[in-house]
Structure 1
Amino acid sequence: MKVALFLMATLASTSTSTLAAQCDINAEYLKADYKITNSHKAQQSNESLTLWRNDQQVAHQRQVITELWQHLANKQIRPIRYFNAQQRGIEYQPSEVRGVQNWSAKNQLVDAHLIEKMTLLNTQGTGCDEVKNYALTEGDNQFKLALFTQSNLVKTFSVTNKKAQTNTVLSLNNVNSNKAEITAQFAKWDRFQTTDYADIGDNENDPFLAKMINLGFIEHSATGFYNQQGEAIQGGHHH
């Protein structure tokens, strides 16, 4: 019996690794372009978001700012907020991060704790294309998630609140796993001039910092994209 169980376990792990071998996407180095559609009653707005993964670093790039997080050896997360046009950045300490230090919300855009609460409806496709479909209804909110199994990339994620008549849809447009291009982008961000969050008070004469403070961009850094309550966590105010 033990031999049979061992063989079954071996076969199961072999088939899983065979599927994984068919998937040529390196989930630790990738660039994923997303479209976010926000609807409220008859009004609709769109914005773009790019998720970057560079081993123990993750970045969420939007039009004005890029939020970058470094996963430290002690499991803490150190955020940096970059301003794309000005090529400047604000560095935060892990203690200055608002909310839970949750790597999954940054790496996947959807908190693993939220996914655990959801019901798995079905699994489609194989290898790189295997997608797990989840759903959850909690209070007035209805969540639907399609997640690529091998890369932990969101294919689509929607949050609908019928009472408030709001709907947010996150949809994947394109994936690039060119490691050289990805590491080059992180190296470019690393060359931006940065200021420690704790030192901003000593640099109020800096025109850039003064402007960003007035616009409300400089604050305790946000925690990720969607938390375990399924709430969108915005990084600063988007004007």
Structure 2
Amino acid sequence: MKYYLLNATMLLIASLPSLAHFDIVKEQLNTEQNLIFNCAQLNATNMVARYEIVQSKGARQTTPTHEIKLIKNQHQVIYKRSSATFEAWDRNGEYSRYFPQERRSITYRPSDLLSVNRRYDLEQQFHLVSPELKSTLQQGKNTQRSCFEVSQYHGEQAGQTITLEWINSLSMPYLLTLAQGTASTTYRLIQVHSITNEQVNALTQGYKDLDFADVGDSESDPFIAKMITQGFIQHGNSGFYDSNGNPISKEDGKHAH
């Protein structure tokens, strides 16, 4: 029996917003307390970045839904969305999912992903926005956000309006809004600070790891049985899901942010 990866890091695929509606959302975000960052001690390689995710439907209705924390150095990037689990990609294209309470992890090698006809954009994982997508957007003026100089981009893709404020010094988004009709999803940087390689590496140490290829031989393992039951590992024809829980088809392969 084959098992497939449920990947929660592919979070920017959604039903998304109109540019006019984005102006309302942006106005509301800008009326909030100004965020202060210590830019002098930041670099593009080693950082912890925390993003607030705001979803909106209808005029002047914004609802903060949740946050995502990105932790990275030159070798790996870690995504934390809850205390129950977190995920990591390394520069070799290996994907691992960690379960802190059980001190267990499951690692998917590039060959595992290829075996189920799934592709990924590794640069997107390290920068949240795919360079390929960014290259299709029209660049606007530069502006100042706190101590960051950001470049503004906008464009449309697959019926979605995309508005991006890009921090050049960090190669990360300051603000990203995806819009369609009167619905929008906005990702806004609310905190960022530096981190050492030792601190990043410590986050993934001390876990008992299992290769994804060995999952089928480990169904008697209570941990594996629990993960399958809870939906972290799924058998079937499709196991890749977007942030709305929708299966991503083979044709979607590339997960554009």
Answer with 116-125 or 22-31: which moved more: 22-31
2:124 maps to what in 1? 105
* Structure with greater proportional helix content: 1
TM (norm. structure 2) is: 0.69
The 2-side partners of 1:142 and 1:93 are apart by 34
For the 8 Å contact 1:92–1:221, the answer to whether it is kept is no
The 1-side partners of 2:241 and 2:134 are apart by 17
1:67 maps to what in 2? 87
TM (norm. structure 1) is: 0.74
Query: For residues 86 and 55 of structure 1, do their structure 2 counterparts lie closer, same or farther at Cα, with a shift above 3 Å needed?
Result: same
Using CA pairs under 8 Å that are at least 6 residues apart, name the structure with larger relative contact order, 1 or 2.
Answer: 2
Runs of 5+ consecutive residues of structure 2 not aligned to the other structure:
1-38, 244-251
Which of 174, 181, 203 aligns to 2:191? It is 174
The 1-side partners of 2:68 and 2:219 are apart by 30
Query: For residues 169 and 126 of structure 1, do their structure 2 counterparts lie closer, same or farther at Cα, with a shift above 3 Å needed?
Result: closer
Q: Which runs of 4+ in 1 moved over 4 A?
A: 40-45, 219-225, 227-232
Q: How many residues matched?
A: 202
The 2-side partners of 1:191 and 1:95 are apart by 25
- State yes or no: 1:204 paired with 2:219: yes
- State yes or no: 1:94 paired with 2:114: no
For the 8 Å contact 2:49–2:71, the answer to whether it is kept is yes
- State yes or no: 1:147 paired with 2:163: no
Deviation at 1:94, TM superposition (A): 0.7
| Root-mean-square deviation over aligned CA pairs | 3.1
Deviation at 1:99, TM superposition (A): 3.6
- Secondary structure of the structure 2 residue equivalent to 1:116: helix
Higher Cα radius of gyration: 1
Alignment of 1:1-239 (within 5 A): 24-40=41-57, 44=63, 46-63=65-82, 64-72=84-92, 77-97=93-113, 99-125=118-144, 129-162=148-181, 165-179=182-196, 183-218=198-233, 231=256
- Secondary structure of the structure 2 residue equivalent to 1:194: strand
2:34 maps to what in 1? none
Between the aligned residues of both structures, percent identity stands at 25
Deviation at 1:146, TM superposition (A): 0.7
Deviation at 1:38, TM superposition (A): 2.8
The 2-side partners of 1:61 and 1:221 are apart by 20
- Secondary structure of the structure 2 residue equivalent to 1:184: helix
Runs of 5+ consecutive residues of structure 1 not aligned to the other structure:
1-21, 233-239
